[in-house]
Amino acid sequence: MIIHNDVYSDEHFVKKYTYMGNDLGAVWSKESTTFKIWAPLAKTVELALYRNGTFGVEDLLRKDGMKKGDQGVWTLKVEGDLNGIYYTYFVENDDEAAEVCDPYARTTGVNGKRAMVLNLASTNPTDWERDIPLEEPLKYTDAVLYELHIRDFSIDESSGVSEKNRGKYLAFTEEGTKTPNGTPTCLDYLTSLGITHLHLLPMYDYGSVDEEKLEEPQFNWGYDPVNYNVPEGSYSTDPFHGEVRVKEMKQMIKALHDRGIRVVMDVVYNHVYDADTFCFNKIVPGYFSRQNEDGSCSNGSYCGNDTASERPMVRKYIVDSVNYWADEYHMDGFRFDLVGLLDTETVNEIVNTVHKKHPNVIFYGEGWSLPTAMQDGYFPATQVHAAKTPDFAYFSDDIRDLLAGRNGEGEGFVSGKTDCEELVAKCFMAKTSWCPKPAQTVNYVSCHDNYTLMDKLRITRPEASFEKLVRMNKLAAAIYMTSFGIPFIHAGEELLRIKEENGRIVENSYNSSDSVNKIRWGQLDDKKYAEVMEYYKGLIKFRKDNRVLHFSTAKEVIENVTYQKLSDNVVLFKIKDELIIIFNASENRYQFDMGKYGIINGDWKICVNSMRADIEEEIGESCIEIPEISTMILKFSK
């Protein structure tokens, strides 16, 4: 790959070649299509039109030279209705000529090699124009996030989804699916669970699954972008025809919106699948990817390359892309993978431009500090710079590591670690060192990365009984679900999800088989799993019903929440005069004397205990016994 690092940072280059138009790509109308591509250093650019979307098939319709205009944009207008026609660009730079896909492609043929001209309106489901954002005002702290992989959701036969739709977008459109014993699954299950947002792992076009060989076993999480503005074809029923993936993704989103469930898109703008072959880098050599001083690719992502977000046309591309998904697909949120590799200016521009039209869209991501060759004068969008991105939230590894222990490094609060009470208070009240306010912390204990919660507990406490492990799981959920911030659930955590292969616990299942990754819906027919799911369901409802858990600012928390250590591994939080929350992580029962806290029988009710999270139980004694490894929540009832 040719590197032009010095050229691209030169003020003259930036001024001369920064293009701010909103018409890059193929702009279709029935009468004509206008193609525009930014290639400032190219000697020639040609447009090739094809009948077929499969790269390598010899079906060229025509090939025409494009004209270079201002800011390095090449243009060609082609008369006639090109809807459904595929295209590529032939770009010649100083020492290389390449046939490439359009970085602004809206859809492609199989495996994302050829872009397709598309009448986007023709892909809209019935009543798509009425699929407006859900009407109630939304604070970030109103959200309850549920992270899920599209294939995991329905690939198991116990999902009840029709065979043709298993592992596909359309699985989310099927109603009335059930386990073999008649328990609701999939869409009906998500609706019943009560989540507000479904966070879907990458569903743009990614490179690790061969869409031409879907009959072969293949699996990947999808954190390897190829075409950022194109739906992944392996989740469609037909990856060979570009319009199908667009139609079916929209059908999925519409079905979820019809159930009151918002959709969050997992996006990976921090690196690409292969920097050398990525279309943007082939068109403008090396421009999209950050370089070290020796010309090698910066690799803070540990995926071979980092995105140079501080470059104006890279920033524009990312901002345009996110706005496109929000506008065209009605996305309700975006989760950014390794957002710490992007700069804060880019992140703020993304958020601000989207919020102009879609004020309820939420933004959050992984704000880990990673080594990257970002230009001087820019700040990475990490936890420690959270104050610089006030409308962007970050995952809290503080609460994750507190509750279950650092990955591979022993116990956490719920599994027996001692002397954690002060850190529990900081995490619960969103007062960790980097967090400016509750609206900027995503509270979780497990996600697709690393071990599932149940696996982490099994590894940490191998001697513990199944019943004790369940207690730990439920206590962890109760803490992050009632803590100030944004709660985040890993799909299947509420079903005690484990990932095993040949008796071995799998930590990183990014390319493991379906047998490791799938949601086992049949577990809902087993009482011991169903009871845990009901506990999570109760916690979700309790959080949604109690607005005092939704404080967005540090000031609200400071003025309304008090904390007290009751005993070793037993802590109490009082929120206004409405809630008293007690977490007992010890292996001993704790006798809570209500009189010491001015609690009068009849004025308060138990809403959450060790067994259930959906009750209103009268308090019968002046002293309440709180079982070991459990939660007790009291609510003022007058």
Residues designated catalytic: 337, 366
The values of phi and psi at residue 384, to 5°, are -65, -15
Q: Are 432 and 557 in contact (CB under 8 A)?
A: no
* CA distance linking residue 37 with residue 558, whole number of Å: 52
Read off the DSSP letter of residue 374. P
Give the span between the Cα atoms of 102 and 116, in whole angstroms: 9
Instruction: Enumerate the β-bridge partners of residue 395.
Output: 442
| ∠ Cα 360 389 428 (to 5°) | 80
CA separation for the pair 11, 30 (Å, rounded) = 40
What is the DSSP secondary-structure string of 182-230?
S-B-HHHHHHHHT-SEEEE---EEESSS-GGGTTS--------EEEEEE
The continuous run of DSSP H or E covering 333 comes out as strand 333-336
397-404 and 453-460 helices cross at what angle (nearest 10)?
40
User: CA–CA separation, 638 vs 629, rounded Å?
Assistant: 29
CB burial string 569-589: b at 16+ within 10 A, e below: bbbbbbbeebbbbbbbbbeee
Determine which helix (DSSP H) or strand (DSSP E) holds 61, and give its type and residue range: strand 60-65
DSSP type of residue 364: E
Measuring CA to CA, which residue among 252, 277, 279, 269 is closest to residue 311? Answer: 269
Q: How many beta carbons lie within 10 A of that of residue 28, not counting itself?
A: 20
Residue 466's Cα: distance from chain center in Å?
A: 31
The 3-state secondary structure of 489-508, one letter per residue: EECCHHHCCCCEECCEECCC
Cβ contact 308:314 at 8 Å: yes
- The pairing of strands 623-626 and 204-206 is unpaired
Secondary structure of 65-134 as H, E, C letters: ECEECHHHEEEEEEECCCCCCEEEEEEEECCEEEEECCCCCCCECHHHCCEECCCHHHHCCCCHHHCCCC
Q: Which of 519, 558, 417 is nearest to 177 (CA)?
A: 519
Which SS3 state, helix, strand or coil, does residue 566 take? Answer: strand
Alpha-carbon gap, residue 341 to 301, rounded angstroms: 7
Q: In this structure, which amino acid lies at residue 474?
A: K
